[in-house]
Amino acid sequence: MKITLGDILSGRVRIVYRRRRRKLPDTPEVAELRKAAKGYLPGRLRELAALHGFTVNSVRIKHNVSNWGSCSVKGNVNLNLNLMRLPQDLQDYVMLHELCHLRYMNHGKEFHELLESLCPNHLELRKRLKEYKLI
Ligand SMILES: [Zn+2]
């Protein structure tokens, strides 16, 4: 089908385009969260890792609206600065979840058994976490 300028101007054809993924701009609130996150989260993650025998390579603070945290097989953990908006038990839950992924890169049975052993109320925490939105 050939599309003419007339089709577009008349609204018969609508052009939809995807925005390129861009870094989210730091609002003053986000800048504050980032600063607090950098000062607290890497240390807390390493503390939890040491306590439970995980080896962490790097810890990075990220800002996105798709996940609270992520990690790689190389032991690099990314944590969302939005974690600073959560109560401590939910922060720890997210970090323990990521640490368990350093051992099991999936959400299989073994992963859940490990998480359960470190965080017996993880199902309740998971439910509570869903009440928070990433900004
Ligand atoms: Zn996961």
- 47 Cα–ligand 1 center, Å: 20
Per residue of the chain (135 residues), what is the pLDDT tens digit? 677 777 767 776 666 555 556 666 789 999 999 999 999 999 999 999 999 999 999 999 999 999 999 999 999 999 999 999 999 999 999 999 999 999 999 999 999 999 999 999 999 999 999 999 999
Q: d(Cα 94, Cα 79) in Å, to the nearest integer?
A: 9
Q: Is the residue at 1 inside a domain?
A: no
Exposure of 34 by Cβ count < 10 A (0-12 exposed, 13-18 middle, 19+ buried)?
Answer: middle
- 18 Cα–ligand 1 center, Å: 27
- 121 Cα–ligand 1 center, Å: 16
Count of Cβ atoms closer than 10 Å to residue 133 Cβ: 8
- 111 Cα–ligand 1 center, Å: 9
Structural domains of the chain, count: 1
- Global pTM reads 0.82
Which CATH number covers residue 49? 3.30.2010.10
- 110 Cα–ligand 1 center, Å: 12
Q: Is the residue at 15 inside a domain?
A: no
Q: Is the residue at 2 inside a domain?
A: no
Q: Is the residue at 88 inside a domain?
A: yes
Q: Whole domain around residue 41: which residue ranges? A: 25-129
